[in-house]
Amino acid sequence: MATTQQQLHGSVVKFLSGAPKKMLINGEWVASASGKTFETVNPATGEVIVKVYEADKEDIDRAVKAARAAFEGPWRKFSHYQRQQLLLKLADLIEKNAEEFAQLETLDNGKPIRESMNVDVPATIEHFRYYAGWATKIHGETLPVSAGNFLTYTLREPVGVVGQIIPWNFPLLMAAWKIAAALACGNCVVLKPAEQTPLTALRLAELIMEAGIPAGVVNVCPGFGPTAGAALSGHMDVDKVAFTGEYTTGREIIKASAGNLKRVSLELGGKSPNVIFKDGDLETALKGCIGSVFFNQGQVCCAGTRLFVEKSIYEDFVGKLSDKVKSIKLGHGLNPETQMGPLVSDDQLKRVTSYLEIGKKEGAKAMCGGDRAKESDLQKGYFVQPTVFADVNNKMRVAQEEIFGPVVSAIPFKDVDDAVFQGNETTYGLAAGVWTSDVKKAHRVARSLKAGTVWVNCYNVFDPCTPFGGYKQSGYGREGGIHALELYTQVKSVWINLD
Burial 36-71 (b: 16+ CB within 10 A, else e): ebbebbbbbbeeebbebbbbbbebbbbbbbbbbbbb
Q: Binding of ligand ADP at residue 194 (CB under 6 A)?
A: yes
Provide, rounded to whole angstroms, the least separation between the CB of residue 363 and ligand ADP: 27
Q: Which of 29, 150, 224, 462 binds ligand ADP (CB under 6 A)?
A: 224
Measure the CA angle with vertex 318, ends 315 and 322; round to 5°.
135
Q: Could you report how far apart the first and last alpha carbons of the chain are, in Å? A: 76
- Please identify, among the stretches 29-37, 41-49, 227-235, 393-401, the one whose residues bind ligand ADP according to the rule CB under 6 A: 227-235
Provide, rounded to whole angstroms, the least separation between the CB of residue 467 and ligand ADP: 21
Q: Binding of ligand ADP at residue 245 (CB under 6 A)?
A: yes
Q: Which of residues 251-270 bind ligand ADP (CB under 6 A)?
A: 252-253
Q: Binding of ligand ADP at residue 346 (CB under 6 A)?
A: no
Nearest CB to ligand ADP, comparing residues 214 and 229: 229
Nearest C-alpha neighbor of 174 from the set 139, 204, 144: 204
Nearest CB to ligand ADP, comparing residues 34 and 393: 34
Instruction: Report the residue number whose CB is nearest to ligand ADP.
Output: 225
Give the C-alpha separation, 352 to 346, whole Å: 10
- Please identify, among the stretches 44-52, 129-137, 183-191, 242-250, the one whose residues bind ligand ADP according to the rule CB under 6 A: 242-250
How far is C-alpha 284 from the geometric centre of its chain's CA atoms? 26
Provide, rounded to whole angstroms, the least separation between the CB of residue 445 and ligand ADP: 30
- Please identify, among the stretches 2-10, 89-97, 188-196, 459-467, the one whose residues bind ligand ADP according to the rule CB under 6 A: 188-196
Q: Which of residues 442-471 bind ligand ADP (CB under 6 A)?
A: none
Burial 82-105 (b: 16+ CB within 10 A, else e): ebbbbbbbbbebbbebbebbbbbb
206 is catalytic: no
Nearest CB to ligand ADP, comparing residues 37 and 422: 37
Instruction: Give the C-alpha distances (Å, rounded to integers) separating 234 from 59, 254, 261, 325.
Output: 14, 9, 10, 44
Nearest CB to ligand ADP, comparing residues 61 and 425: 61
Q: Which of 192, 203, 271, 306 binds ligand ADP (CB under 6 A)?
A: 192
Nearest CB to ligand ADP, comparing residues 112 and 167: 167
Nearest CB to ligand ADP, comparing residues 116 and 233: 233
Q: Which of 63, 207, 213, 230 binds ligand ADP (CB under 6 A)?
A: 230
- Please report, to the nearest 10 degrees, the dihedral formed by the alpha carbons of residues 199, 242, 491, 466 taken in order: 80
Give the C-alpha separation, 223 to 206, whole Å: 18
- Please identify, among the stretches 108-116, 150-158, 249-257, 472-480, the one whose residues bind ligand ADP according to the rule CB under 6 A: 249-257
Provide, rounded to whole angstroms, the least separation between the CB of residue 170 and ligand ADP: 12
Position 163, amino acid: G
Strands 161-165 and 188-192: parallel
Q: Which of residues 142-171 bind ligand ADP (CB under 6 A)?
A: 165-167
Q: In 159-300, where do the E strands start and end? A: 161-165, 188-192, 218-220, 240-244, 263-267, 273-276
Instruction: Give the C-alpha distances (Å, rounded to integers) separating 76 from 73, 82, 97, 139.
Output: 6, 11, 29, 16
Q: Binding of ligand ADP at residue 249 (CB under 6 A)?
A: yes
Q: Provide the edge-to-edge strand list for the sheet that holds 23-25.
A: 28-30, 23-25, 218-220, 188-192, 161-165, 240-244, 263-267, 475-476
Provide, rounded to whole angstroms, the least separation between the CB of residue 55 and ligand ADP: 10
Per rule CB under 6 A, count of chain residues that contact ligand ADP = 17
Instruction: Give the C-alpha distances (Å, rounded to integers) separating 409 from 235, 297, 318, 405, 437.
Output: 41, 15, 10, 12, 24
301 is catalytic: yes
Nearest CB to ligand ADP, comparing residues 24 and 456: 24
The site for ligand ADP (CB under 6 A) is made up of 165-167, 192, 194-195, 224-226, 229-230, 233, 245-246, 249, 252-253
Give the residue numbers annotated as catalytic, written as ranges: 267, 301
